[in-house]
């Protein structure tokens, strides 16, 4: 039995390392109540802050369907909340106890949608929706929201000191925009995404993604599609699957825009399905509560905590792994996760030639890293052109547009070390046009620099007898070298002609000779090849050093 501030808790409903929830009664009284109690741990300050935030938000909500706190209790260093009692169980527990038909599932979806719509109309974002914060009364089937510790009142003015609200709650249920890896504000669609994860889990018995830490969950929400087994596809009605996948869209613009739209879809499939369809029973396979690694620091936002986690993990990789090739693989994997990318290359500049040293790509829901060591010229024309332009301009290039799977994002990040271009990080996410935000670039640059350092070591180990490149008997005239320098500076043929005070046709003739001598077909190839052969003055080229 647990005791705090004159209360005895004799029936535990929920417990984790930080809180207890259960039925309690005051000493010397038979009045039974529901109570949440903070446990002694290294997170007392954070859990107390959540208790106070829950009381501040939920006690003022004028609506039915919430677990309403009625009294905050202080007991030394820890706090507790007393609630108006309801005879309910968590959504996870309900699905473990009951076999649910399709029609009952649709009605449950309607009730949750109605409740979420009302909450959003009150200008409150829950930001902690998961199977443990949705309660159901088994007899009445009434639905309640609990766990308002991370809730935000949209109508409140921002903190003048720039501090954000409490950290978002559980990484497996968080929307892409809550990770800070997508250029989109957090609004009611974040709650709809979390509800999608919750309903997916209750229907399939597993989360839509797999991960082992906060950074892994962040990457999954950004870049990995929900995983359905063949059995799930056969047993779950397609109308419900369409709702789930719309809730789980990476891009907020492709989700339900509000709970009213979600409610309308649940109502539509409830009205249209055949009676024999609605009588069908869904065999639910409940999953265990996911264990989440904690990185909580009260003075940091969740995106900053993920940045810190990436830096810590990179240090651990260097400190614990002795195989340099494996260090490179793990760091490249870390870059893809940190960025929220589906695909990435790390390109280095070796003796003036661009080499794709490392690749990472999500394949069949798994992140696969390889070290191809291929010349950039061997890559597809579109990707080759973007990377080459970034090498020449030494400027960040970010775009959002149409991708293989619809709207997508592309980032080219130049890696400058001691003010010299050493490589380019190329990233893709075809699932959203809003990926790759500037706030993440610093950590991405740092991780990429580390991989380039390892790559330089590996290249020397692979070719210990490699000496300086020779020109192979190839030479350029002084005028041809001038033109290559101007090409490297990004000047057009017309601009080069104006600079050298010659006719444009003369420039074209010189360029044909340059291409022939260097055995290349494009301007960027000519610049790289000339540098590789040491035909140019090092300090005047963009690939110096």
Shared-domain flag, residues 420 and 341: yes
- Per the structure, the complete domain to which residue 211 belongs is given by 89-155+167-282
Q: For residue 542, tell me if it sits in a domain.
A: no
Q: Pick the most confident of 56-65, 223-232, 374-383.
A: 56-65
Residue ranges in 394-472 assigned as alpha helix (H): 441-462
Shared-domain flag, residues 184 and 148: yes
Sign of CA dihedral 410, 208, 250, 314: negative
Shared-domain flag, residues 349 and 434: yes
- Tell which of 45, 60, 83 closes a domain: 83
Shared-domain flag, residues 437 and 485: no
**Distance (Å) of CA 359 to CA 311, 326, 329, 342, 387:** 20, 14, 9, 11, 14
Q: Pick the most confident of 164-178, 215-229, 486-500.
A: 215-229
pLDDT at residue 197 in the model: 96
Q: For residue 177, tell me if it sits in a domain.
A: yes
pLDDT tens figures, 278-311: 445 555 555 555 544 444 444 567 888 889 889 9
Q: For residue 29, tell me if it sits in a domain.
A: yes
pLDDT at residue 406 in the model: 52
Query: For a pLDDT cut of 70, what percent of the chain falls above it?
Result: 85
pLDDT at residue 192 in the model: 97
**Share in percent of the chain as helix, strand, coil (round to 5):** 45, 20, 35
Query: For a pLDDT cut of 90, what percent of the chain falls above it?
Result: 39
pLDDT at residue 295 in the model: 42
Shared-domain flag, residues 54 and 31: yes
pLDDT at residue 384 in the model: 83
pLDDT tens figures, 139-187: 999 999 999 999 999 877 555 444 444 454 689 999 999 999 998 999 9
Shared-domain flag, residues 326 and 455: yes
Q: For residue 429, tell me if it sits in a domain.
A: yes
Q: What is the mean pLDDT of residues 312-335?
A: 87
Q: What is the CATH number of the domain that holds 334?
A: 3.30.450.40
Shared-domain flag, residues 77 and 98: no
pLDDT tens figures, 38-50: 888 888 888 898 9
The span from the CA of 5 to the CA of 26, in Å, is 9
Q: What is the CATH number of the domain that holds 490?
A: 1.10.10.10
pLDDT at residue 249 in the model: 95
Shared-domain flag, residues 329 and 390: yes
Tokens describing residue 493: 């043929």
pLDDT at residue 469 in the model: 46
Q: What does the longest C-alpha to C-alpha distance in the chain come to?
A: 102
Q: For residue 255, tell me if it sits in a domain.
A: yes
Shared-domain flag, residues 65 and 129: no
The span from the CA of 57 to the CA of 80, in Å, is 15
pLDDT tens figures, 443-455: 999 999 999 988 8
Q: For residue 178, tell me if it sits in a domain.
A: yes
Q: What is the CATH number of the domain that holds 105?
A: 1.10.510.10
pLDDT at residue 404 in the model: 43
Tally of structural domains, the chain = 4
Number of H helices, E strands in the chain: 17, 20
Q: For residue 468, tell me if it sits in a domain.
A: no
Shared-domain flag, residues 79 and 93: no
Q: For residue 318, tell me if it sits in a domain.
A: yes
pLDDT tens figures, 70-121: 989 887 888 889 998 888 889 999 998 888 888 888 999 999 999 999 999 9
pTM: 0.76
Q: How many CA atoms lie within 13 A of 121 on its CB side?
A: 11
Q: What is the CATH number of the domain that holds 75?
A: 3.30.200.20
Shared-domain flag, residues 95 and 237: yes
Shared-domain flag, residues 219 and 341: no
Instruction: Band the pLDDT of 380: cuts 50, 70, 90.
Output: confident
pLDDT at residue 284 in the model: 54
- Tell which of 40, 64, 83 closes a domain: 83
Average predicted confidence (pLDDT) for the chain? 83
Residue that the structure tokens 């954000």 belong to: 164
CB atoms within 10 A of CB 536: 20
pLDDT at residue 457 in the model: 79
């Amino acid at each position: 039995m647990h005791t705090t501030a004159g209360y005895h808790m004799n029936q535990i409903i929920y417990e984790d390392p930080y809180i207890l929830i259960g039925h309690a009664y005051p000493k010397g009284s038979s009045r039974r109540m529901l109570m949440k109690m903070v446990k002694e741990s290294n997170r007392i300050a954070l859990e107390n802050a959540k208790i106070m935030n829950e009381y501040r938000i939920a006690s003022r909500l004028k609506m039915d369907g919430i677990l309403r706190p009625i009294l905050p209790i202080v007991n030394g260093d820890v706090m507790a909340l007393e609630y108006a009692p309801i005879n309910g169980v968590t959504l996870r527990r309900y699905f473990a106890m009951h076999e649910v038909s399709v029609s009952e599932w649709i009605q449950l979806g309607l009730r949750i949608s109605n409740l979420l719509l009302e909450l959003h109309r009150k200008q409150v974002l829950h930001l902690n929706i998961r199977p443990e914060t949705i309660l159901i009364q088994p007899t009445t089937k009434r639905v309640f929201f609990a766990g308002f510790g991370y809730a935000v009142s949209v109508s409140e003015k921002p903190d003048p000191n720039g501090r954000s609200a409490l950290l978002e709650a559980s990484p497996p249920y968080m929307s892409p925009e809550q990770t800070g890896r997508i250029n989109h504000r957090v609004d009611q669609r974040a709650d709809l995404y979390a509800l999608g994860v919750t309903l997916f889990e209750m229907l399939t018995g597993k989360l839509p993604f797999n991960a082992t830490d906060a950074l892994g969950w962040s990457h999954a929400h950004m870049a990995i599609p929900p995983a359905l087994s063949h059995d799930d596809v056969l047993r779950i009605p397609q109308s419900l699957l369409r709702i789930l996948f719309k809730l789980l869209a990476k891009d907020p613009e492709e989700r339900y825009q509000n709970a009213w739209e979600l409610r309308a879809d649940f109502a539509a499939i409830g009205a249209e399905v055949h009676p024999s369809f609605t009588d069908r029973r869904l065999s639910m396979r409940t999953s265990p509560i996911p264990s989440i690694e904690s990185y909580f620091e009260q003075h940091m936002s969740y995106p900053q905590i993920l940045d810190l986690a990436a830096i810590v993990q990179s240090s651990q990789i260097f400190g614990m792994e002795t195989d340099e090739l494996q260090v490179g693989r793990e760091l490249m994997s870390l870059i893809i996760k940190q960025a929220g990318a589906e695909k990435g290359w790390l390109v280095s500049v070796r003796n003036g030639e661009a080499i794709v040293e490392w690749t990472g790509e999500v394949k069949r829901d798994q992140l696969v890293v390889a070290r191809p060591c291929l010349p950039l010229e061997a890559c597809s024309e579109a990707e080759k052109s973007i990377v080459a332009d970034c090498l020449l301009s030494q400027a960040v290039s970010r775009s959002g547009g149409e991708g293989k799977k619809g709207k997508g994002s592309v980032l080219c990040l130049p890696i400058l070390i001691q003010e010299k271009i050493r490589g380019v990080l190329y990233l893709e996410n075809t699932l959203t046009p809003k990926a790759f935000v500037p706030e993440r670039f610093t950590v991405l640059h740092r991780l990429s620099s580390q991989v380039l350092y390892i790559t330089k070591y590996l290249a020397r180990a692979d070719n210990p007898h490699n000496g300086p490149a020779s020109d192979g008997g190839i030479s350029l005239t002084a005028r041809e070298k001038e033109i290559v320098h101007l090409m490297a500076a990004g000047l057009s043929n017309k601009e080069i002609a104006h600079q050298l005070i010659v006719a444009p046709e003369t420039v074209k003739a010189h360029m044909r000779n340059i291409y022939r001598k260097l055995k290349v077909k494009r301007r960027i190839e000519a610049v790289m090849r000339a540098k590789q052969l040491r035909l140019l003055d090092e300090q005047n080229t963009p690939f110096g050093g």
